[in-house]
Copies of this chain bind each other. A is one copy, B any other.
Amino acid sequence: MGGSIIIEAARKGQITPEMEYVAKVEQIDPQRIRNLVASGRVVIPKNASRDTIPVGIGESMSVKINANVGTSKDFIDVEEELKKALIAVQYGADTIMDLSTGGDLDEIRRNILDSIKVPVGSVPIYQAAQDSIADMTSDDMFKAVRKHAEDGIDFVTIHAGVTLDALEQMKKSDRILNVVSRGGAFTIAWMIHNEKENPFYEEYDYLLEIAHEYDLTISLGDGMRPGCIADASDQPEFMEFITLGELAREARSKDVQTLVEGPGHVPLDDIGLSVRMMKRLSDGAPLYLLGPLVTDIAPGYDHITGAIGGSVAGMHGADFLCMTSPSEHLCLPTVEDIKEGTIVTKIAAHIADIVKIKDRAKKMDDQMAIARKNLDWERQFELSIDPEIARSIKNSRQSKSDACSMCGDLCAIKIIQDALR
A residues sitting closer than 8 Å to B (CB atoms) are 72-75, 101-102, 133, 171, 176-182, 184-186, 188-189, 192-193, 227-231, 267-269, 294-301, 304-305, 307-308, 311-312, 315, 326-334, 343-344, 347-348, 350-352, 354-355, 362, 364-366, 368-370, 372-373, 380, 383-386, 389-390, 393-394, 396-401, 404-413, 415-416, 418-420
Contact = CB atoms under 8 A, between A and B. Distances in A.
Given A331-B399, A407-B101, A389 B267 contact: no
A366 B227 CA distance: 11
Contacts of A384: 297-300
Contact of A385 (B297, B372, B410, B418): B297
A365 B305 CA distance: 13
Nearest to A295: B351
Given A351-B295, A365-B230, A394-B331, A301 B372 contact: no
A70 to B, nearest CB: 10
Given A72-B408, A227-B412, A332-B405, 20 more contacts: A72-B399, A72-B405, A74-B397, A74-B398, A74-B401, A102-B408, A176-B373, A178-B420, A189-B418, A192-B419, A295-B365, A296-B365, A297-B385, A299-B394, A300-B389, A301-B344, A301-B385, A304-B304, A331-B393, A331-B394
Contacts of A394: 299, 330-331
Identical chains bound together, number: 2
A138 B184 CA distance: 68
Contact of A362 (B229, B299, B332, B365): B229
